[in-house]
Amino acid sequence: MNVSRYIDDLVSVFYPRTCMACGNTLFRHEETLCTYCLFHLPKTNFHKDHDNPVIRIFWGRVNLTSAAAYYHFGKGGKVQHLIHQLKYKGHKEIGIYVGKLYGAELHEEEKYSDIDTVIPVPLHRSKLRIRGYNQSEQFAMGLCSSMPAVLDVHALYRKFASETQTKKSRFNRWENVKEIFVLNDEKKLNGKHVLLVDDVITTGATIESCAAILLKVPGVKVSVVALACAIK
């Protein structure tokens, strides 16, 4: 008898492992997402198309090398539930797991193959203290595990907390986040191709603010990816 397998089965009776997107019970070989969600969550495939809806929202605003998102975000959908579990329910493993998946796909694309440094959009220390972790950092960790790039969580600093962006207009979102990010040490980013990482892109205001700071570094290139985007 395989004792460890028996114990795992017994534990799963009282503490069932469930899919973070749909809530169904996971089989033994499944991790974080059930097989159905793994293959049926709405992927954008934007990383394969340089002229995609994510990169377009930054045209005329900030000079990005490329931009993409893994999933389409829809109100009330499974992707929204997945991100809610990541941001507010303590399931850090979601960010790492999905990051690994996306990192493997990005590494196959020429425009992302020379990424040197992965930088997550930082949280203010007050929000970090409440949440306990930065969800974008978890996603960035997963990306780095599938890409030959270095994770840098200290390059950008959020100098003060901004208000929630949820119900703000595009202009007000920009007003809410402009000039709140500071670059800690630009010398180590000189000439690098930086991948800026966020959880969800909507208007792109936060990314624009971060990218504008990074692009002041001599010779730097900035690309962007997010776990999801609310852009069709």
Interval 95-147: pLDDT, tens = 999 999 999 999 999 999 999 999 999 999 999 999 999 999 999 999 999 99
C-alpha to C-alpha distance for 54 and 65, rounded to whole angstroms: 12
Sheet holding 117-120, edge to edge: 66-72, 221-229, 193-201, 117-120, 150-151
Query: In the chain, what are the domains?
Result: 1-40 (no CATH), 42-229 (3.40.50.2020)
Residue 146 makes CB contacts below 8 A (sequence gap 6+) with 99, 100, 101, 102, 103, 104, 106, 107
Give the pairing of strands 221-229 and 66-72: parallel
What pLDDT does 173 receive? 47
What pLDDT does 177 receive? 57
Strand-pair partners of 72: 229
CA torsion 45-46-47-48 (nearest 10°) is 70
Mean pLDDT to the nearest integer, 167-190: 70
| Whether the predicted pLDDT of 7 surpasses 50 | no
Mean pLDDT to the nearest integer, 17-28: 96
Mean pLDDT to the nearest integer, 59-68: 97
Mean pLDDT to the nearest integer, 21-26: 97
| Whether the predicted pLDDT of 189 surpasses 50 | yes
Q: Across all residues in the chain, what is the average pLDDT?
A: 89
What pLDDT does 6 receive? 44
Answer whether 167's CB lies under 8 Å from 197's CB: no
